[in-house]
Copies of this chain bind each other. A is one copy, B any other.
Amino acid sequence: MLQHQPSLDLAFQALADPARRAMVERLCDGPASVSELAAPFEMSLSAVVQHIAVLEGAGLIRTAKQGRVRTCQVEPQALRGVEGWINERRLLWERRLDRLGDYLKANPDMPKKDHDQ
């Protein structure tokens, strides 16, 4: 569990950008072409294409070209990976906070040293 997880790196990195997050949000409503994805933004089409490449590289979306239009759609897999990581963490720190709560309940007069760890 202390190993590098390149796919997580890429997914978090991809989602760190508000434009890319907005694109994923849009794609959660259904597939869209590159130009449709680009429409809400002021940046160049080229920039949007680069964002799409990042999302696809992170496995967050899948794209396919038919004729001259490339259609994009969300790929649940990578999103699940991110969700999994978060859920694991939450489990751990909730368990920890519970233990701490129990300890405090048991020792209402906690000394100021050695309060944990």
Contact = CB atoms under 8 A, between A and B. Distances in A.
A32 B18 CA distance: 32
Contact of A30 (B16, B32, B96): B96
B83 A79 contact: no
Interface string A87-117: 1011011001100000000000000000011
Interface residues of A, number: 39
Given A2-B40, A30-B96, A89 B16 contact: no
Nearest to A36: B117
A12 B9 contact: no
Contact of A86 (B4, B9, B16, B82): B82
A28 interface: yes
| Top-4 shortest CB links A-B | A12-B16, A13-B16, A28-B92, A30-B117
Interface of A: 1-2, 4-5, 8-9, 12-13, 15-18, 21-22, 24-25, 28-32, 40, 74, 76, 79-80, 82-83, 85-87, 89-90, 92-93, 96-97, 116-117
24 contacts: A2-B25, A2-B40, A4-B18, A8-B18, A8-B21, A9-B16, A9-B17, A12-B21, A13-B13, A13-B16, A16-B16, A25-B89, A28-B89, A28-B93, A29-B92, A30-B116, A31-B116, A31-B117, A76-B90, A76-B97, A79-B86, A79-B89, A79-B93, A83-B86
